[in-house]
């Protein structure tokens, strides 16, 4: 039973550079700088990062120069690769870039960042890697999702297991396979409270039936991820890949989110997709 697992807090037992840090960004240098600085500040075992890969979509030359300077300052002794995209042969730009990501990462583990998620609490990569190594069912450990207040009747109806370890350090992101992906499950009071604090006005959100694959701050086990056919060029980037992912693996989340969204809500500013006239 996964609820019996004990979380290993002995962070000194892993000293090999077994992690690739990847980051996707697009025309938002100010967000890029805040995000990468926050990762550098709050990741307590950066020594595990063997290489960094930056995927940038259509930022101007001057911004790319500033990005390279920032990375060189923060990670002077780390191998860094930049993949710059301008002309892309499809409207599904992000999916195309993530196809490259799928092929590029050669280490067993990857920590992925998008340019609009800032770290706000300290964390260890080791703790997440240890879970992925010891539990063949877990494909992703997410640190961006605070535990939700799940209705008791929902848990009982679908026999959901929410607490992952006996001390409830982590929780299992639920996905009900016989229900349509994206269907509303309940009014998400936890995210409403978080969003209201983040944005400074009343925020409302529903918790949906989602397959658990995400591009939010997390560690992924690439040995497991690569058993799934790579991203397809369609509008449902994470959801499409996620449904296939959920046939094999689960995602667990730290009980307290260690990151938060930068800027204003998605519905008040142009997304990276809109900036590049892209269908995800």
- The whole-number pLDDT of residue 13 equals 52
Sign, CA dihedral 171-175-181-183, equals negative
Q: What is the DSSP string of 169-237?
A: SEEEPP--TTS-TT-EEEE-HHHHHHHHHHHSS----EEE---S---SSEEEEHHHHTTSPPPPSSS-H
Cβ contact 5:164 at 8 Å: yes
- The whole-number pLDDT of residue 17 equals 75
Cβ contact 113:26 at 8 Å: no
Question: Half-sphere exposure of residue 99, counting CA atoms within 13 Å on the CB side?
Answer: 15
- The whole-number pLDDT of residue 193 equals 95
pTM, to two decimals: 0.91
- The whole-number pLDDT of residue 2 equals 46
Distance CA 271, CA 260 (A): 16
User: Using only C-alpha atoms, what is the Rg of the chain?
Assistant: 18
Each residue's pLDDT expressed in tens, for the chain with a length of 280 residues: 444 455 666 655 555 778 999 999 999 999 999 999 999 999 999 999 999 999 999 999 999 999 999 999 999 999 999 999 999 999 899 999 999 999 999 999 999 999 999 999 999 999 999 999 999 999 999 999 999 999 999 999 999 999 999 888 999 999 999 999 999 999 999 999 999 988 888 999 999 999 999 899 999 999 999 999 999 998 787 789 999 999 999 999 999 999 998 866 655 555 555 555 655 5
Which residues make Cβ contacts (< 8 Å) with residue 268, sequence separation at least 6?
none
Q: Which of 207, 212, 214, 158 is nearest to 185 (CA)?
A: 207
Sign, CA dihedral 49-249-241-244, equals positive
Distance CA 26, CA 60 (A): 9
- The whole-number pLDDT of residue 55 equals 98
* Stated length of the chain: 280
pLDDT in tens, 205-256: 999 999 999 899 999 999 999 999 999 998 787 789 999 999 999 999 999 9
Distance CA 119, CA 107 (A): 23
Show me where the domains of the chain are located.
Answer: 16-143+214-275
Which residues make Cβ contacts (< 8 Å) with residue 267, sequence separation at least 6?
none
- The whole-number pLDDT of residue 199 equals 85
Out of 3.40.50.800, 3.40.50.300, 3.90.550.10, 3.20.20.10, which CATH number does the structure's domain 16-143+214-275 have?
Answer: 3.90.550.10
Q: How far is CA 159 from the centre of its chain?
A: 26
Question: Half-sphere exposure of residue 169, counting CA atoms within 13 Å on the CB side?
Answer: 15
Please state whether beta strands 250-254 and 138-142 pair in parallel, antiparallel, or not at all (unpaired). parallel
Helix, strand, coil in percent for the chain, rounding step 5: 35, 25, 45
């Amino acid at each position: 039973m996964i609820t019996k697992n004990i979380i290993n807090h002995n962070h000194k037992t892993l000293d090999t550079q077994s992690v690739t840090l990847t980051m996707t960004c697009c025309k938002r240098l100010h967000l890029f700088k805040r995000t990468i600085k926050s990762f550098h500040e709050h990741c307590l075992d950066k020594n595990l990062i063997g290489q960094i890969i930056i995927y940038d979509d259509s930022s101007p030359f001057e911004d790319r120069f500033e990005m390279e300077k920032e990375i060189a300052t923060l990670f002077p002794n780390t191998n860094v690769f930049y993949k710059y995209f301008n002309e892309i042969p499809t409207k599904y730009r992000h999916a195309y870039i993530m196809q490259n990501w799928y092929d590029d990462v050669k280490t067993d583990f990857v920590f992925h960042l998008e340019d609009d998620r800032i770290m706000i609490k300290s964390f260890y990569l080791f703790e997440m890697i240890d879970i992925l190594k010891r539990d063949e069912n877990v494909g992703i450990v997410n640190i961006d999702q605070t535990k939700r207040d799940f209705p008791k009747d929902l848990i009982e109806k679908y026999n959901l297991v929410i607490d992952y370890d006996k001390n409830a350090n982590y929780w299992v992101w639920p996905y009900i396979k016989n229900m349509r992906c994206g269907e509303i499950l309940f009014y998400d009071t936890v995210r409403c409270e978080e969003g209201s604090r983040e944005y400074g006005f009343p925020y409302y959100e529903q918790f949906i039936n989602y397959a658990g694959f995400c591009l939010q701050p997390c560690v992924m086990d690439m040995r497991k991820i690569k058993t799934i056919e790579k991203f397809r060029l369609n509008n449902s980037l994470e959801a499409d890949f996620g449904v296939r992912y959920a046939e094999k693996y689960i995602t667990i989340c730290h009980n307290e989110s260690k990151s938060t969204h930068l800027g204003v809500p998605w519905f008040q500013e142009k997304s990276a997709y809109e900036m590049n006239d892209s269908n995800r």
